[in-house]
Each structure stands twice: as C-alpha cells, then as structure tokens.
C-alpha cells in the first residue's frame, strides 16, 4: 500500500515537474517570439522560413496522399449504410463535414508529429549531447531564441496551412470514389459539398490545427532539451516525443470539440 502511494506521489511530482518545465519553455519561447524582436534582440526569420518549408511544404506529399486515400475510404464506407436508403448523395456531406471538423486537422497533425516532432527532439537532443547548446549559451546566444522560437512560428503556421490543403484533398478523394465507384453524379456531389460546408467548421478546424502545431513543437523542443545520457537518451526522448505529442493532440482535439460544439 505504502509502495503504491509512494509510486503515485513520485509520478505526480514528475508530472508536476514536466508541467513546470513546459511552462517555463512556453514563457521563454513567447518572449523570444514577441517581446525580444521588438526590443531589437532579433528573430531568426531565415530559420523560421526554412523550417516552414521543412514542416509544411515537405510534408505535403505524404499528408496529401494519406488524406486523399482517407477521403476515398470514407466515401466507400459511408455508401455501405447510405445506399440502403438511396441516400448516396449525402456521402458528400459526410466527407466534407468530417474532413473539415475532424479528419484533416487530426491526420495532418499526427503525420507532422511523426515526421517533424521526432526530428525536432532528435536535433536538439543531439546538440545537447554534443555540448552545442552549452556552446550557444557561452556565445551569448539563448538556445530558446536560436532553436525554439523559429521552430514554433514555423510549426504554428505550417500545420494550419497544410491542414487547409488536406481538407481540400480529402474532399477530392471522396468525390473520386463516389463518382467512379458508388456512381453519384459529379454535379450533385459538388452541390452537396458546397451546401454542407459551414464557415464555423472551417474555422474550428483551423483553430484546432494551430494548437496541434503548438503542441507538436513544444513537446518536441521540451523533450529535446531534456535529453540526458548520450545517444540512448536521444532515442528515448525522440520516441517519447512522438507518443506524447499524438496523445496531447487527441486531448486538445477533445477539449476543442467540447468547447466548440457542446458549450
């Protein structure tokens, strides 16, 4: 019994420490992103753009491919039920609403977490192991300014941008399988889609994806700075970074869904 309480207590303390650590990181990153540039202490725009290309543009092929296939799949699956009532034209509504509200933001975030969240942790972790972070500090360059701030801006813009494109591609995927396989008239599908899209769904999808981007980046950076104990530590934190990021993405998703549609 005492052992269990002790374990629980230590676990709670560790989580509290993590929350504190992440809070400090958030404050510092926001400072280097907003206050410091205004005080003339600089922001690494070039690095932010480079990272935007890496997180956004280079993620497009895989995100596009997967979202297209998911669009195809949802349409096929939906037709299984809707066909019985002769309501195949509502496949378009289903695909559009689920793409905008849920699937496009979620799939984009999970894929970018796997592609880039891990890379952020590995990069920063390796730099820590090689004393490169210490070298930056001694040179008077704050590691958060040099590494975290440009990445956060890049991630916060890249994930929503990719998400918009993913939404579109997913709807195209639904259109392709509905028209070619299920036999819905192309014009009817389009009319149903435009009728189903509500501005609020688009906005909530984008707001969610912005927060997904922040989660991916902050978890990646925090785990990277936490690396301890050589190459093995880098591997451990990199794996944890992806798992934790995906878990938090789902939690954030739930929170926003409740906020937007049930309050």
Q: Which residues bind another protein (CB under 8 A)?
A: 42, 123, 126-127, 130-132, 134-142, 146
Whichever of 146 and 222 has its CB closer to another protein, that residue is 146
Going by C-alpha positions, the residue among 83, 26, 24 that lies closest to residue 218 is 26
Q: Smallest distance from the beta carbon of 139 to another protein, in angstroms?
A: 5
Whichever of 147 and 244 has its CB closer to another protein, that residue is 147
3-state helix vs strand vs coil in the chain, percent to 5 = 90, 0, 10
Q: Smallest distance from the beta carbon of 38 to another protein, in angstroms?
A: 16
DSSP string for residues in 209-262: HHHHHHHHHHHHHHHHHH--SHHHHHHHHHHHHHHHHHHHHHHHHHHHHHHHH-
Q: Smallest distance from the beta carbon of 214 to another protein, in angstroms?
A: 24
Whichever of 105 and 143 has its CB closer to another protein, that residue is 143
Q: Pick left, alpha or beta for residue 224 (phi over 0 → left; psi -120 to 50 → alpha; otherwise beta).
A: alpha
Contact of 238 with 122, CB cutoff 8 Å: yes
Q: Smallest distance from the beta carbon of 216 to another protein, in angstroms?
A: 20
Whichever of 86 and 140 has its CB closer to another protein, that residue is 140
Whichever of 18 and 136 has its CB closer to another protein, that residue is 136
Q: Smallest distance from the beta carbon of 146 to another protein, in angstroms?
A: 8
Whichever of 131 and 185 has its CB closer to another protein, that residue is 131
Q: Smallest distance from the beta carbon of 56 to another protein, in angstroms?
A: 19
Q: Smallest distance from the beta carbon of 27 to another protein, in angstroms?
A: 13
- CA dist 222 and 219 (Å) reads 5
115-147 CB burial, b ≥16 within 10 A, e <16:
bbbbbbbbbbbbbbbeebbeebeeeeebbbbbb
Taking the CA of residue 72 as centre, how many other CA atoms within 13 Å lie in the half-sphere pointing to its CB? 10
Whichever of 39 and 84 has its CB closer to another protein, that residue is 39
């Amino acid at each position: 019994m005492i052992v269990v309480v002790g374990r629980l207590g230590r676990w709670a303390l560790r989580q509290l420490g993590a929350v504190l650590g992440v809070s400090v990181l958030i404050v510092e990153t926001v400072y280097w992103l907003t206050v410091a540039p205004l005080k003339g202490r600089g922001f690494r725009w070039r690095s932010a753009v480079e990272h935007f290309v890496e997180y956004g543009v280079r993620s497009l092929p895989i995100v596009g491919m997967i979202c297209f296939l998911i669009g195809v799949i949802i349409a096929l699956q939906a037709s299984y039920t809707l066909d019985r009532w002769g309501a195949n034209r509502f496949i378009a509504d289903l695909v559009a609403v689920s793409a905008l509200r849920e699937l496009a933001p979620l799939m984009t975030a999970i894929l970018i977490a796997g592609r880039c969240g891990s890379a952020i942790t590995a990069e920063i972790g390796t730099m820590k192991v090689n004393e490169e972070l210490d070298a930056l500090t001694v040179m008077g360059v704050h590691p958060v300014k040099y590494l975290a701030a440009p990445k956060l801006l890049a991630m916060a813009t890249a994930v929503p941008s990719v998400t918009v494109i993913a939404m579109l591609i997913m709807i195209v995927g639904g259109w392709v399988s509905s028209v070619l396989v299920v036999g819905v008239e192309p014009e009817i599908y389009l009319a149903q889609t435009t009728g189903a899209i509500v501005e609020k769904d688009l906005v909530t999808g984008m707001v969610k994806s912005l927060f997904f981007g922040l989660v991916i980046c902050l978890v990646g950076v925090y785990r990277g700075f936490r690396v301890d104990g050589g190459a093995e530590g880098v591997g451990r934190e990199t794996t944890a970074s992806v798992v934790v990021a995906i878990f938090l993405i789902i939690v954030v998703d739930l929170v926003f869904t409740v906020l937007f549609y049930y309050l």
